[in-house]
Structure 1
Amino acid sequence: MHKTITGFSKLSKSKKIDWIVDTYFSNNANAKTILKQYWNSDSKLQQLHDEFIENTITNYYLPFGVAPNFLINGQTYTIPMAIEESSVVAAASKAAKFWFDRGGFKTEVISTTKIGQVHFTYDGNSEVLESFFNGIKSKFYEDTSSITNSMVKRGGGILDIELKNKTESLDNYYQLHASFETMDAMGANFINSCLEQFATTLKTEAQTKLQGNINVVMSILSNYVPNCLVRAEVSCKVEDLTENPNISPEAFAEKFIQAVKIAEVEPYRAVTHNKGIMNGIDAVVLATGNDFRAVEAGVHAYASRKGTYSSLTHAELNNGLFKFWMEIPLALGTVGGLTSLHPLVKLALEMLGKPSAKELMQIVAVAGLAQNFAALRSLTTTGIQEGHMKMHLMNILNQFEATSEEKKILVSHFKTNAVSHSAVVDTINKLRANN
């Protein structure tokens, strides 16, 4: 039976673990050992991790890998990736190598505008509210000047503030819809601080200058950033799409483009198609200390912006030129948050040349495009399972606690045999039976 506890957050980490183990793992003698073996031996570093969140009892490790040979706008990068899924890093690396000799990836930041909103209700006349807003609009800028001064000096700040009438969707519902430029910061704290001051100003001014009642519901940034866009693309002559001897370059291009078009019109396919893109994007976002949940939410909303969920990538063959591209919203930061706290995040950013937020947007977008190219190339030629299951082989062997010698024999065996869970189990059992 699950138990409740009062004052858990006030317990020491050791006491927290004791309660967790006694309550949930009374029959598992190894539980406490497992939790503690993931602690960092450097007590200072462990304390840093403990203080990232509340109620920390241990660390949860993900592999931190790298994908080399990415040529982006003429510059070569090795991209850090934090992810647990088999074959993602290998696929990205393979795509990078494929395009390295075909001109590499071309990228462009289209815009970097971010959005925040004050959501409120008003029970009076909308024209009166609009006149009131226009009369006090300058006050929003004045009252946030202490918050925005340093950002303005770096070239950012509040771009605009609009009053939006949403009463057709919800009775008495209005917004202050503000746009921001946050430079190299992701900007969540900056935007939210500005919005909360907007709300205070709105309520204060309304008390003496507006008939009717204003009720501020909430003030919060939006993770939907359709105007914080980056474009990434690859292109080459169709005859240069040579790699697989079993399919001609022209046939490969045609099949590849058809696969993209299916994802453009079929949501069931588009979700999996875009998930593959996010395999690459999330891995780099996580490795660089950014918020992958915010990125995911914004990206999938963007994929639905025309009313139907659709592919983020597009492809065409025009006058013998194959082109594959993507425009994607990415709100990222290279200062603030974990970027200056987590030692591996700092190393990841250093590996990338200490990029600006705009540069990181381009690198992350390329990782997503490369991942999607690799997945579609496999799907339209050999099938996705051949490469994926060969990468997954080691996971299966580790599940069965294969020895180093058994791994060597089995890896060699499956170089020329199809990998499936049942095939691996049968082979390892036969190997052990013969020994």
Structure 2
Amino acid sequence: MSDARSSRIEGLHKMAPEARLQAVARQAGLGNAAIASLSAAAQGQIELADRLVENAISAMSIPVGIATNMLVDGHEVLVPMATEESSVIAAVCNAAKRCRPTGGFFTSSSGPVMAAQIQLLGASDPENVRLKVYERMDKIRAICDETDPLLVKFGGGFRDLDIRVIETDEGPMTIVHIIVDTRDAMGANAVNSMAEALAPRLVEWTGARSLLRILTNLADRRVVRARAVWPLAEIGGEQVRDDMLSAYRFADADPYRAATHNKGIMNGVSAVVLATGNDTRAIEAGAHAFAAKDGHYRSMSRWEADGDGNLVGILEMPMAVGLIGGATKVHPTAQANLEILGVKTADALARIIVSIGLAQNFAAMRALATTGIQKGHMALHAQNVALAIGAVGAEIDQVANELKALGKVRQDLAEEILARLRAGK
């Protein structure tokens, strides 16, 4: 880069957010409009932002919409979704409405169980090390539970060990998984603290060297399953059903298709995770790793026809979300969204999230198997394009409607339409 700007701003972290913004603006050569936009975006949120992240200068708002028609385990649920992508929420509403005649979504869960890994190195007898650790199960339980007595008080705590010897380029490693019931917390802090407390004792007992002590986001003991049945009449008939099943089989066999197929599922999942202040990156990492657990990357969902010819969808995935701790507990918008959901436990939230992912998947596959993905998506995207080229007020709908009528949602066409509208005034 030939840019003469420096990324060094001495003492930036010590400044108040407003002074920090001005320092960044000087360094980056920002104009007044950009400074005003960053300042306005943070109104009422900058103090919280400054506590949540380092070197905060502003906040960035993501639209929150409501998915309707959701019936989960017999309960009517309004679901807040935070997303910037057009058609995602509308697709969920439509998909949820179409499976209401058969009872909506039915779920099951393996419970709020997380794992942390302790890496043991340098042992010439890794299998012997593995057994030495298992032999001290009661001591390990006591160490872990003493680390977080509050978790134990609420019914959580250490549950089990899972110890593996893995082969690597530097030889075998013994990997100790501590399995912990984290109740209504996502659990990262709890299991990490337990792993760090336990590691020195494992070194003492085994003679191995402890290195990494960290949770795994492949939360395959914290799995939630959602199931729904869509009647043929709600799908569009046997041909549409069969074409949707072919689309699923394509995704299940081909990682290039699976990547986009699963991205569609995560459009729904991540939107609810974000709206409730949970960790989108952790959920996404765990979900995609789970999709590759059999040795190749495949569809997260499963689809089939039942004995009556109806379409059955199943989504099974890790869902490590919480109601306490982190942004979930301190962000007022996340708290309000949880109030809309009306959930009292992390497990109930997880079941709703996976149901949303299944609804999103149905909607995307049905669109692909019938009109194509662009028709519905671009109808909503037309307004975004109108906004992007500077349309305001009534101009936004006028430009968007003309683009939809043309069947082409392109920025150059939008600019021509807007110029013509303004010239005619």
TM-score (norm. length: structure 2): 0.92
1:129-168 pair list within 5 angstroms: 129-130=129-130, 132-167=132-167
**Secondary structure of the corresponding residue to residue 217 of structure 2:** coil
Cα distance in 1 between the residues matched to 2:372 and 2:127: 60
Aligned to 1:390: 379
Aligned to 1:16: 20
Aligned to 1:258: 246
Aligned to 2:214: 220
Task: Report the CA distance shift for 1:307/1:427 in structure 2 as closer, same or farther (over 3 A).
Answer: same
Aligned to 2:86: 86
What is the CA deviation profile of residues 215-271 of structure 1, one whole-angstrom value per residue up to 9, with x for unaligned ones?
2111000000122111112114434434xxxxxx01111111111111000110100
By how many angstroms is 1:139 displaced?
2.2
Deviation larger for 263-272 or 223-232: 223-232
Q: Does 1:419 align with 2:402?
A: no
By how many angstroms is 1:135 displaced?
4.4
The amino acid that maps onto 1:150 is L
Aligned to 1:124: 124
By how many angstroms is 1:415 displaced?
5.2
1:301-380 pair list within 5 angstroms: 301-319=289-307, 320-380=309-369
By how many angstroms is 1:115 displaced?
1.4
By how many angstroms is 1:433 displaced?
4.1
Contact conserved, 1:108 with 1:231, CA < 8 A, in 2? Answer: yes
Cα distance in 2 between the residues matched to 1:352 and 1:92: 15
**Secondary structure of the corresponding residue to residue 358 of structure 1:** helix
1:27-176 pair list within 5 angstroms: 28-41=31-44, 46-126=46-126, 128-130=128-130, 132-167=132-167, 170-176=170-176
Cα distance in 2 between the residues matched to 1:98 and 1:123: 58
Task: Report the CA distance shift for 1:135/1:377 in structure 2 as closer, same or farther (over 3 A).
Answer: closer
Aligned to 1:283: 271
- Percent identical across equivalent pairs? 34
Contact conserved, 1:390 with 1:419, CA < 8 A, in 2? Answer: no
Task: Report the CA distance shift for 1:381/1:134 in structure 2 as closer, same or farther (over 3 A).
Answer: closer
Task: Report the CA distance shift for 1:301/1:188 in structure 2 as closer, same or farther (over 3 A).
Answer: same
Cα distance in 1 between the residues matched to 2:14 and 2:210: 34
By how many angstroms is 1:411 displaced?
4.0
By how many angstroms is 1:167 displaced?
4.2
How many residues end up aligned between the 2 structures? Answer: 419
Task: Report the CA distance shift for 1:322/1:54 in structure 2 as closer, same or farther (over 3 A).
Answer: same
Structure 1 stretches lacking a partner, 5+ long: 243-248
Cα distance in 1 between the residues matched to 2:125 and 2:391: 74
**Secondary structure of the corresponding residue to residue 99 of structure 2:** helix
Contact conserved, 1:334 with 1:357, CA < 8 A, in 2? Answer: yes
What is the CA deviation profile of residues 23-74 of structure 1, one whole-angstrom value per residue up to 9, with x for unaligned ones?
1125x23222121111224xxx532232111111111111111111211111
Cα distance in 2 between the residues matched to 1:141 and 1:84: 44
Deviation larger for 55-64 or 399-408: 399-408
By how many angstroms is 1:394 displaced?
1.0
Contact conserved, 2:389 with 2:414, CA < 8 A, in 1? Answer: no
By how many angstroms is 1:99 displaced?
2.1
Cα distance in 1 between the residues matched to 2:113 and 2:169: 25
By how many angstroms is 1:16 displaced?
1.7
What is the CA deviation profile of residues 296-345 of structure 1, one whole-angstrom value per residue up to 9, with x for unaligned ones?
00000011111111111121123223211211111111122222211111
Cα distance in 2 between the residues matched to 1:127 and 1:268: 39
The amino acid that maps onto 1:13 is P
Match of 1:5 among 6, 9, 14: 9
Cα distance in 1 between the residues matched to 2:341 and 2:66: 11
Cα distance in 1 between the residues matched to 2:303 and 2:175: 38
By how many angstroms is 1:152 displaced?
2.5
Task: Report the CA distance shift for 1:129/1:236 in structure 2 as closer, same or farther (over 3 A).
Answer: closer
Deviation larger for 81-90 or 155-164: 155-164
Task: Report the CA distance shift for 1:199/1:402 in structure 2 as closer, same or farther (over 3 A).
Answer: same
By how many angstroms is 1:423 displaced?
3.8
Q: Does 1:234 align with 2:228?
A: yes
What is the CA RMSD across the aligned residues, in angstroms? 2.0
The amino acid that maps onto 2:265 is I
1:161-200 pair list within 5 angstroms: 161-167=161-167, 170-200=170-200
The amino acid that maps onto 1:14 is E
By how many angstroms is 1:149 displaced?
2.8
Cα distance in 1 between the residues matched to 2:15 and 2:94: 48
By how many angstroms is 1:158 displaced?
1.0
Contact conserved, 2:226 with 2:354, CA < 8 A, in 1? Answer: yes
Contact conserved, 1:184 with 1:358, CA < 8 A, in 2? Answer: yes
Cα distance in 1 between the residues matched to 2:338 and 2:133: 43
Aligned to 2:288: 300
The amino acid that maps onto 1:129 is V
Task: Report the CA distance shift for 1:126/1:119 in structure 2 as closer, same or farther (over 3 A).
Answer: closer
Deviation larger for 307-316 or 143-152: 143-152
Cα distance in 2 between the residues matched to 1:233 and 1:79: 18
Aligned to 1:246: none
Deviation larger for 286-295 or 352-361: 352-361
Cα distance in 1 between the residues matched to 2:119 and 2:268: 34
